Structure 1
Amino acid sequence: MPRTKKEPNRTDELLDELLLDYRTPDDILGEGGLLKQLSQRLIERALSGELNHHLKPNPSAPEGADPGEPSRPNSRNGYSKKTVQSQHGEMELSIPRDRNGEFEPVLVPKHQRRLAGLDEKILALYSRGLSTRDISAQLEELYGAQISVALISDVTDSVSEEVNAWQCRPLDEVYPILYLDALYVNLKVSGRVAKRAVYVVLGINREGNKDLLGLWTGEAESEGAKFCLKVLTDLKNRGLQDILIACVDGLSGFPQAIEALYPNTQVQLCIVHLIRNCLRYVPWKDSKAVVADLKPIYQAATLQEAETALDAFAAKWDGLYPAISQIWIRHWENVIPIFDYPMDIRRVIYTTNAIESLNRSLRKVIKTKAVFPDEESVFKPMYLTMNNIAKRWSRPIKNWKAALSHFAILFPGRFNH
Structure 2
Amino acid sequence: MPAHKKEHTTPEENQPRTSESSIPNLPAPDEFHRYLRAQIRNATRVVMEEIMCEELERFVGAAWGECTPKRKGYRNGFYTRDLATTNGPIEDLNVPRDRAGKFHTQIFERYNRYEQQVADGLTQMFVSGTSTHKVGEVAQALMRVAPSASAVSRLNQTLTEQFEAWRERPLLLHYRVMYLDGIHFSVRHGTQMDSTVILTALGVDLEDNKDILALRACAEEDKDGWSCLLQDLRNRGVPEIDLLVTDGHDGLLAATKSLFTAAPRQRCLVHKQSDVLNAIPHRELQEVATELGGIWKQEKKEDALLNLTAFKAKYQKRYPEAIRSLCEDEEHLLTFYSFPPVMHRYIRSTNAIESFFSNVRQRTDQIGAFTTETSCLTIVWATMQDIHLPRIPVS
TM-score bracket, shorter-length normalisation: 0.7 to 0.9
Contact in 1 for aligned 2:180/2:244 (Cα 8 Å): yes
Please tell me whether the aligned partners of residues 76 and 99 of structure 1 are also in contact (alpha carbons under 8 angstroms).
yes
| Residue number in structure 1 paired with 2:133 | 133
1:325 to 1:107, Cα distance in 2 relative to 1, 3 A: same
Query: How much has 1:149 moved relative to structure 2?
Result: 5.6
Match of 2:234 among 228, 233, 236: 236
Q: Show the 5 A alignment for 1:110-189.
A: 111-140=111-140, 146-148=146-148, 151-188=151-188
- 1:343 corresponds to which residue? 341
Q: In the aligned structure 1, how far is the partner of 2:173 from the partner of 2:98?
A: 57
The one-letter code sitting in structure 2 at the alignment partner of 1:295 is: G
Find out whether 1:23 has 2:21 as its counterpart.
Answer: no
Write the letter of the residue equivalent to 1:194: D
Deviations 1:187-238 (A, max 9, x none): 3458743222110111111111112111112232xx3323322221111111
1:210 corresponds to: 210
- Structure 2 CA distance, aligned partners of 1:193 and 1:286? 41
Q: 1:162 to 1:48 in 2, by over 3 A?
A: closer
State the 1:343 CA deviation. 1.9
Look up the SS of the partner of 1:250 in the other structure: coil
Corresponding residue of 1:86: 85
2:196–2:373 CA contact under 8 A, matched in 1: no
Q: Is the 8 A contact 1:187 1:193 kept in 2?
A: yes
Report the Cα distance in structure 1 between the residues aligned to 2:130 and 2:272, rounded to whole angstroms: 32
> 1:108 and 1:366, CA in 2 relative to 1: closer, same or farther beyond 3 A?
closer
CA RMSD of the aligned region, Å? 4.1
C-alpha contact 1:80 1:96 (8 A) present in aligned 2:
yes
1:180-329 aligned at under 5 Å gives the runs 180-188=180-188, 192-220=192-220, 223-274=221-272, 294-301=292-299, 302-307=303-308, 310=311, 327-329=325-327
CA gap of 1:148–1:283, structure 2 versus 1, over 3 A, is farther
* 2:45 aligned with 1:47: no
Query: Residue type matched to 2:232 in 1?
Result: D
Secondary structure class of the residue paired with 2:374: helix
Taking the aligned partners of 1:343 and 1:270, their CA distance within structure 2 comes to 17
Cα separation, 1, equivalents of 2:178 and 2:149: 39
Q: Any conservation in 2 of the 1:89–1:146 contact (CA below 8 Å)? A: no
Q: Cα offset for 1:177?
A: 0.5
Contact persistence 2:136–2:146 (CA under 8 A): yes
Q: 1:332 aligns with which of 324, 330, 349?
A: 330
Q: Which residue of 2 aligns with 1:9?
A: none
Asked if the contact 2:226–2:251 (Cα under 8 Å) also holds between the matched residues in 1, the reply is yes
1:301-324 Cα offsets, whole Å, 9 max, x none, are 333244167459969xx88xx976
Per-residue deviation, 1:358: 1.6
Unpaired runs of 5+ residues, structure 2, are: 1-24, 58-62, 68-72
Given residue 383 of structure 2, which amino acid in structure 1 is its aligned partner? T
Q: Is the alpha carbon distance of 1:314 and 1:145 closer, same or farther for their aligned partners in structure 2, counting shifts above 3 Å?
A: farther
2:385 to 384, 387, 396: 387
Structure 1: which 5+ runs fail to align? 1-18, 61-72, 405-417
CA gap 1:21/1:239 in 2 versus in 1, 3 angstroms: same
1 CA distance for matches of 2:106 and 2:173? Answer: 41
Contact residue 90 and residue 146 of structure 1 kept, 8 A: no
Cα deviation, residue 98, structure 1 = 7.3
Separation (CA, whole Å) in 2 of partners of 1:340 and 1:105: 57
| Greater Rg over alpha carbons, structure | 2
TM-score (norm 1): 0.70
Aligned to 1:362: 360
SS of match in other structure, 1:48: helix
* Alpha-carbon contact 1:202-1:211 (below 8 Å) kept: yes
**2:187–2:372: 8 Å Cα contact kept in structure 1?**
yes
Cα–Cα, structure 1 residues 21 and 183, in superposed 2: closer, same or farther, change >3 Å? same
* Structure 2 Cα separation of the partners of residues 27 and 288 of structure 1: 69
Query: What TM-score comes out, normalization by structure 2 length?
Result: 0.73
State the 1:336 CA deviation. Answer: 2.7
- 2-side partners of 1:282 and 1:91: how far apart? 70
Q: Is the 8 A contact 2:266 2:348 kept in 1?
A: no
| Cα distance between partner residues in 1 of 2:131 and 2:375 | 10
Instruction: Give the whole-Å Cα distance in 2 for the aligned partners of 1:238 and 1:147.
Output: 38
Q: Distance in 1 between matches of 2:136 and 2:288?
A: 47
The whole-number CA distance in structure 1 between the counterparts of 2:378 and 2:270 is: 28
Aligned to 2:336, what secondary structure does the other structure show? helix
2: distance between equivalents of 1:282 and 1:84?
67
2:4 corresponds in structure 1 to none
Name the SS for the 1:130 alignment partner: coil
Per-residue CA deviations over 1:319-341 (Å, capped at 9, x if unaligned) read 8xx97665434343332323444
Q: 1:313 to 1:345 in 2, by over 3 A?
A: farther
Give the Å deviation of 1:278.
Answer: 6.8
For the residues of structure 1 that align with 2:383 and 2:314, how far apart are their CA atoms? 40
Cα gap change, 1:94 to 1:269, in 2 (>3 Å): same
In the other structure, the counterpart of 1:6 is none
CA–CA separation in structure 1 for the residues paired with 2:146 and 2:277 = 48
